[in-house]
Structure 1
């Protein structure tokens, strides 16, 4: 993950936000107090939130994985 000091980030925040949104690569913003932050794009944040929500539902991960296997089996039966 790329890191940048808070001073440099402040000077080119608009550019950094654009880069994060285009690349979907988070950037760590560092300071001299050891309390860093991570900048991510809004779409990536929404995806993380959705994943966390789905993983909080008991059995959801297993259900999703099982449905993927069913879809593969269903498609291969028509070949």
Structure 2
């Protein structure tokens, strides 16, 4: 992760926001021992969704089981 001082981040905030949104690479912003991370909103939402899904009891095991299922054994048509 790239690191930048708070002063440089302030001077280049618009550019850094665009860069982060496009590259999906977070940027660490430092200032006298206090760090923060700038990341794209899309990435933040994905992190929040992952945390939510993993908070549901049994969801982690269901995902692992599903990932281990061969594609040929998956349903071709959903019956919803």
Query: Once superposed, what is the RMSD of the aligned Cα atoms?
Result: 1.3
- Which 5+ residue runs of structure 1 have no aligned equivalent? none
Q: What's 1:25 paired with?
A: 25
**TM-score normalised by length of structure 2:** 0.85
**TM-score normalised by length of structure 1:** 0.86
Runs of 4+ that moved beyond 6 A: none
Q: Between Structure 1 and Structure 2, how many residues are aligned?
A: 74
Report the Cα distance in structure 1 between the residues aligned to 2:68 and 2:2, rounded to whole angstroms.
Answer: 37
- What does residue range 1-79 of structure 1 map to in structure 2 within 5 Å? 1-32=1-32, 34-74=33-73
- Which 5+ residue runs of structure 2 have no aligned equivalent? 75-80
Which SS does the other structure have where 1:4 is aligned?
strand
Structure 1 residue 72: deviation in Å?
2.5
Structure 1 residue 71: deviation in Å?
4.7
Larger displacement relative to structure 2 (12-21 or 62-71) = 62-71
Which SS does the other structure have where 2:34 is aligned?
coil
